[in-house]
Amino acid sequence: MADPNLSNFSYSLPRALRLVGPYLFFGHLMRSPLSDWTPRLSSQVPFAMIIICWQNLTMKTFSVSVFALAILLFLLGGFGFVLNKEAAAPIKLESLIDEDLENLSSKGLLPKEMNSLAEVELNAGTDNAKSWLKDMRFPFKVQKEGTHKLEVLLVDWTEGPKDGAMLQLNLIEKSSGNMVWELGRTFILKDRESSYQKLKAQLLNWLRH
């Protein structure tokens, strides 16, 4: 069985050293002649102070750098958010379609025949959609040995405070003319009742006055 007194002594020894260490250090200096301990004090104490100051300065510099980086990332994120909200309709729609198709592809929901397209036919149901198609690029690859045709129908719409577009994809087997797959998607391009649009309207109204 361990001696409790010895255990307490072992536990309190580091604390005791911390308490009496400074007195031992300065007591050692005071026991020496003045001409002996003055150089020691001037060479050891300032050096320790320099190390402490350097550590504090390094920590403060690091904290300021992290804070500045966080502000920069926040500003860049906000700038990107505004650019996305203010993008032209065809650019925003193109981005939404690409994101949707990538999501479907990652989940294995696109047919393998989409990789064997011989033709992509673009159709517009409205004048706005016809204008948009001229500025849009679709992620569909066409190859000479393809066996299928993809029909794309784009229609824009407005319902209340919302503007959007409807996309219809029909995959046709060229040899038989049969439709083997279809996909319908509705995208919201602008919502005038969203928090962003309301804040924008308030800001513009404030600037006018």
Same domain, 26 and 119: no
Tokens of 55: 């550590």
* DSSP annotation of 204: H
- Mean pLDDT, the chain, whole residue set: 74
Which of 71-75, 187-191, 201-205 has the highest average model confidence (pLDDT)? Answer: 187-191
Q: What is the mean pLDDT of residues 134-159?
A: 95
The CA distance from 168 to 151, in Å, is 8
The CA distance from 182 to 185, in Å, is 10
Same domain, 49 and 118: no
**Residue 65 within a domain:** no
Same domain, 97 and 49: no
CA angle at residue 156 from 150 to 159, to 5 degrees? 140
**Residue 30 within a domain:** yes
Same domain, 106 and 39: no
What per-residue string of b and e applies to 46-78 under the rule 16 or more CB within 10 Å gives b? Answer: eeeeeeeeeeeeeeeeeeeeeeeeeeeeeeeee
Looking at the chain, how many residues does it have? 209
Least confident of 73-77, 106-110, 136-140: 73-77
Least confident of 7-11, 95-99, 123-127, 185-189: 7-11
Model-wide pTM > 0.75:
no
pLDDT at position 40 over 80: no
**Residue 145 within a domain:** yes
| Domain count for the chain | 2
For residue 73, CA distances in Å to 69, 70, 77, 84 come to 6, 5, 6, 16
**Residue 25 has what pLDDT?**
45
Same domain, 161 and 94: yes
For the chain, helix, strand, coil in percent to 5 are 60, 20, 20
R_g (Cα) of the chain, nearest Å: 36
The CA distance from 157 to 166, in Å, is 8
Percentage of the chain exceeding pLDDT 90:
46
pLDDT at position 89 over 70: yes
For residue 54, CA distances in Å to 42, 44, 144, 182 come to 18, 16, 68, 67
**Residue 64 has what pLDDT?**
63
Structural domain boundaries, residue 42: 4-54
**Residue 82 within a domain:** no
